Structure 1
Amino acid sequence: MILPSNKIRRILTLAEELETIPPHSKGRLTVEYYHQIKTYLHKAFDLPIHPLGKLMEGLVDVFRAAYIGVGAHPRLLDHAVKEITSFVSRLYNCVRILFPDLSETGGPLLIEAEAASEGGTTPETDDISLVVSCGTLIHPILLPKIYPPLFDLYALYNDKDDEKYWERVRKLNKQGDIGLMAFLGIDQKFWLIDAVLKEKSPSLSALRNQSYCSAIETLQHISTAFSPKEKLEVIQKTFSEITKTVEESMGDVQVWCMDDLFPIFHYVVIRAQIRHLGAEIHLIQDLMEPHLENGELGIMFTTLHVS
């Protein structure tokens, strides 16, 4: 088979970039070293002529053959999840042979930037420290390659519940912003339409999709994220957008209580109209690493689940 010229160019470019390999070991894992490893692995697993690329290609072919077509049955979801868990574990073990400074067990490991660990000054960045694990390294590499057949299984498994949910969402979305926020019990000070209320506009009841737009758009990105961590980060950013919207409107730093925050988040979920939300939640539950369940991301995920 003759490859297209653009694919040949891409392969040659990747092969050239992979000529520089991160050090086998530096004695400890830092943020900078971890990013070097991660960048290298993303390229290596994407290159079909690289041993890691050949390994990934074989695993992906096997998974697709098993769960596409006749294999796309909801009863096989549990088997698919166990297979993915096995893939992740074995791929990580292979990677640790190349880079032994990675966590031996694959469990969560807090790493720091080189300057921070040496007691020096660090630039203003979010990457002063990171919690890394087997999943944070392997999930973003593996899951995008098998996501379509995997998510089809989740959609099939949750089809009936998602259909009921979708009918409720469509019904609730027929209401205007004020009607829906009132129905959900959102405190009026968080409606963020004071100016409109003061004008007593006769078209006020027809106001639609004008509240918390940035949070709604952010949450819709959950369907384009592939790994559980990426989906959780979308949820986290959604909460941040809600807070930002309220603070910009009210001019104060907002300290939330769940009685105020939950109805607003419920409104955002309804307006986001995510067709297979039950499948999205199920996927996160199955593949989310245990150390994420009790932290901030876990609490936010629970809020989405109960909404």
Structure 2
Amino acid sequence: MQKSQEYLYCARDKEKEPGQIEDLMEELRLEVESLQSYLEKAFNSSHHPLKKVLKLLLVVFQATYSGLGTNFHLLSMAQEEIKYYAKKLWEFFRALLTMKADKGGGALSGGPHGEDMSEELNPYTVILPAILPRFHPDLFMLYMLYRQQEDALYWQGIVRLGHLTDTKLLEFLDVQRQLWPLKDVKLTANQARPPTRNPANHNRAHPTPSPRRKRYSIVRHKCFQSATECLQKIISTVAPKEKLEIILKTYQEIEKTVSRVLSKDYKLPMDDLLPLLIYVVSRAGIQHLGAEIHFIQDLMDPTNRGGMNDFLLTALESCYEHIQKDEVRLFK
């Protein structure tokens, strides 16, 4: 720790790197964005002690859990090890802040020792988002292996539901017809053209559905597109907080679509939300959704548990489990 000061505060201009880590620390503030920005630069600076520590931790982790060590039985150990790394790096980082104050660099708001740090500043919010991208490939492989059987059943359901048209799927999921966003469906010229009338049926006693409504029955993957595209973004993020934000945004997009269909603000009760969310999940086609859910549950910030995050994560897990059922996988 003492030796690290040689790199942090020395005035050897020849060895200074682009960005000048020393100058960046002078501008540091006790805010999540500021700390994460500094850490990202520190982890990419060959002279910074945090980069050296992280590099060694990554080598050890890969030697333990990748290659021959890729075994789903080791998942709990691996994810606990990642959380331990974050905790220790957080202690190290706070020590560097203290060294800054002791060196005469001035105290940060909240005190150099972090006595008054908000709950928002912790290993899960500051350290994990910075280090997870480096550990994610090997760690997530363990999650995929752990959830392999459930994900296989779930994917069979996804494939089966993918063959259904939008109206058939909404009907199969018992979505109330008043919530069907058929106005969002843009039919092609051929789809919108009324079918040729059969003279033999011209004088039928019962009226037939309008030609345009009948045309909706051949359309796939057109309803709730904004929510579907939003949920698909979950695979392009790593941090659990970002994944939770995507799930929340998906819920908001579903609610926004329903409100537009009803021409009024509408807060979805669970009975309405679940079938609509199943629809969106089935159309999003996230192959390893079980691994994604488990990953979020294990590595999310404990201070964020409860409330809307838990509600939506539980709802998403319910959709995942429902799609695995025989009635879905074997539906014809």
TM-score range, shorter chain: 0.7 to 0.9
Instruction: Give me the whole-angstrom Cα distance separating, in 2, the residues matched to 1:57 and 1:109.
Output: 29
Correspondence for 1:145: 134
Correspondence for 1:121: none
Q: Confirm whether residue 15 of structure 1 aligns to residue 34 of structure 2.
A: no
Instruction: Give me the whole-angstrom Cα distance separating, in 2, the residues matched to 1:260 and 1:106.
Output: 46
Q: 1:188 to 1:87 in 2, by over 3 A?
A: same
TM-score normalised per structure 1: 0.80
Q: 1:98 to 1:216 in 2, by over 3 A?
A: same
Instruction: Give me the whole-angstrom Cα distance separating, in 1, the residues matched to 2:174 and 2:113.
Output: 49
Correspondence for 1:286: 298
CA drift at 1:212: 0.7
CA drift at 1:106: 11
Correspondence for 1:98: 96
Counterpart of 2:68 (choices 67, 70, 89) is 70
Q: 1:186 to 1:302 in 2, by over 3 A?
A: same
Q: Confirm whether residue 250 of structure 1 aligns to residue 262 of structure 2.
A: yes
Instruction: Give me the whole-angstrom Cα distance separating, in 2, the residues matched to 1:86 and 1:231.
Output: 21
Counterpart of 2:171 (choices 169, 173, 182) is 182
Partner letter of residue 228 of structure 1? Answer: P
Equivalent residue runs for 1:28-177 within 5 Å: 29=30, 33-99=31-97, 101=110, 109=118, 131-177=120-166
Q: Secondary structure at the match of 1:275?
A: coil
Equivalent residue runs for 1:260-271 within 5 Å: 260-271=272-283
Correspondence for 1:119: none
Q: 1:255 to 1:95 in 2, by over 3 A?
A: same
CA drift at 1:237: 1.0
CA deviations on 1:251-285 (whole Å, 9 max, x unpaired) are 32222211111211111011111101111111112
Aligned residues of 1:74 and 1:153 also touching (Cα < 8 A)? yes
Q: Secondary structure at the match of 1:186?
A: coil
Q: 1:71 to 1:195 in 2, by over 3 A?
A: closer
Counterpart of 2:235 (choices 195, 219, 223) is 223
Question: Which runs of no fewer than 5 residues in structure 1 stay unpaired?
Answer: 1-11, 111-130
Larger mean Cα displacement after TM superposition, 252-261 or 177-186: 252-261
Larger Rg: 2
Larger mean Cα displacement after TM superposition, 236-245 or 262-271: 236-245
Partner letter of residue 230 of structure 1? Answer: E
Aligned residues of 1:103 and 1:109 also touching (Cα < 8 A)? no
Instruction: Give me the whole-angstrom Cα distance separating, in 1, the residues matched to 2:32 and 2:111.
Output: 8
Partner letter of residue 153 of structure 2? Answer: K
Correspondence for 2:193: none
Partner letter of residue 21 of structure 2? Answer: L
Aligned residues of 1:24 and 1:98 also touching (Cα < 8 A)? no
Equivalent residue runs for 1:225-244 within 5 Å: 225-244=237-256
Q: 1:104 to 1:290 in 2, by over 3 A?
A: farther
CA drift at 1:73: 0.8
Instruction: Give me the whole-angstrom Cα distance separating, in 2, the residues matched to 1:84 and 1:106.
Output: 25
CA drift at 1:107: 12
Q: Secondary structure at the match of 2:156?
A: helix
Question: Which runs of no fewer than 5 residues in structure 2 stay unpaired?
Answer: 1-14, 99-109, 186-208, 320-332
Partner letter of residue 90 of structure 1? Answer: K
Q: Secondary structure at the match of 2:19?
A: helix
Cα RMSD over matched residues?
2.7
Counting aligned pairs with the same residue, the percent is 36
TM-score normalised per structure 2: 0.74
Q: 1:63 to 1:251 in 2, by over 3 A?
A: same
CA drift at 1:97: 1.3
CA drift at 1:213: 0.7
CA drift at 1:18: 2.3
Partner letter of residue 83 of structure 1? Answer: E
Instruction: Give me the whole-angstrom Cα distance separating, in 1, the residues matched to 2:269 and 2:16.
Output: 52
Larger mean Cα displacement after TM superposition, 40-49 or 182-191: 40-49
Aligned residues of 1:108 and 1:291 also touching (Cα < 8 A)? no
CA drift at 1:17: 4.4
Correspondence for 2:11: none
